Amino acid sequence: MHFSLHVSGALRTINAFWEERGHDPNTEGLLFAGYSRKGKPHTVWLQWRRSHDDCCDVFLGLEARRPSEVCPKRSGDRYRLRETDLLDFINMIRRDVTGVQARYAFPWDKNLEGLIRLPGRARPTSLTLEVYDEKQQRVMDVTYERQGASWLAIVVPAGFFKIADEPVSDTFFKVPYDTACLLATSLRQKRLEPL
């Protein structure tokens, strides 16, 4: 799962927050930590960068891969993300954030040939579909993308998760996580007819 949010006028505040916690302001704005879920290695990472004026874009990722795969060639000590710092950071910025855009990526055991008929010489690497409901309202984008020898199904729901009035707690990621579980189940069960 990847989350992106825009924080208005808070770049200096964000840099000061991390500098107080020992992060060198001259390095890239990236921190990460490894953890285990059901015996499998996972990574949580946080990145921030100036967008314009004194505004900041913040990105947060939760991935089912080792830190060495997600953030290669980076020292764990220099880029260490502590859980308490992450919670304090989200609590600090949530008042300036109207919503969070979520993005989900899942391994896809098929390829584009299962979705569309292609000429023999075509070597597609990505296909994006816009998904609409019965009222013709866009509900999500689904992208099938080649990553090396394998494929990913990347789902970006329309709309935003609201965090402004919700303190960070153990249930903070419950809605995004439940959404990810539903999407994963749906993608596994989906029987697609070739276009």
Amino acid at 190: K
pTM metric for this prediction: 0.78
Residues found in the chain: 195
Rounded Cα gap, residues 170 and 78, in angstroms: 27
- 105 CB-near residues (< 8 Å, 6+ apart): 1, 2, 152, 153, 154, 155
Candidates 86, 74, 63; CA nearest to 27 is: 74
The tokens for 91 are 């609590």
Rg (CA), the chain: 19
Amino acid at 157: P
pLDDT tens sequence across 20-64: 998 876 778 899 999 998 899 999 999 999 988 888 899 999 998
pLDDT tens sequence across 177-195: 787 777 777 766 654 444 4
